[in-house]
Amino acid sequence: MSRYRGPKLRITRRLGALPGLTKKKSNKLNRPGQHGKGPNDNNKKTTEYGIRLEEKQKLKFNYGLTENQLYHYIKEARRRKGVTGLILLQLLEMRLDAICFTLGFATSIGHARQLVNHGHISVNKQVVNIPSFQCRLSDIIGVKQNPNIQNLIKDNLKNNQNNELPSHLKFDNSKLEATVLNYCDRNDVTVQIDELLVIEYYSRR
């Protein structure tokens, strides 16, 4: 399945706020579709499978993943020692496009992916154009020496001044460089999700 490129507000109406997908809010309250539930409509019950499916879709749409990519991260999280759900979120948050979004370089993860694809972001002084690149501890994420791109990123940083930088990242505003200090904490993940339900969704695969 290819990456979703359709209406974003339609997704947020169904799944709730997804900061990595878009920060815009829809004026409509009902879920999309002819039979969408309103805010006071409790007649339709969501099945257990449906609940797990929606949690999985939150991750998929928020981080801009394909089905195969998400399943790959699930298998990798299972392979490593520790709490599988937390490891899954840490793997996703250590993607280069996700870190650029967290730093405020871009307005969404899709926008951050575009910056990376076009070669505007460097890791340890080397240009990296792979959005899914897994950053490691002590990596230094920088911006290419291009005045137009640097001005764009500075404008985005000004618009994101209200967002506090998580403790696992250290940012030098003068150099437009950030250092990965540690893996993220569970509280640093901005999307509201129950990652255990995502693990359960894939438990039979």
| Selected residue with higher pLDDT from 190 and 99 | 99
Structural domains of the chain, with CATH: 8-91+191-201 (1.10.1050.10), 95-182 (3.10.290.10)
State the pLDDT at residue 164: 79
State the pLDDT at residue 38: 55
The pTM of the full predicted model, rounded to 2 decimals, is 0.87
CB neighbour class for 72 (10 Å; exposed up to 12, middle 13-18, buried from 19):
middle
Tell me if residue 123 falls in helix, strand or coil.
Answer: strand
The pLDDT tens digits for 148-170 are: 999 999 998 888 765 778 889 99
58 contacts: CB under 8 Å, gap ≥ 6: 15, 16, 18, 191, 192, 193
State the pLDDT at residue 41: 55
Question: Residues 18, 19, 21, 27: is their CA dihedral positive or negative?
Answer: positive
The pLDDT tens digits for 25-58 are: 877 877 777 655 655 555 567 788 999 999 999 9
Both tokens of 82, joined, read 């520790």
78 contacts: CB under 8 Å, gap ≥ 6: 84
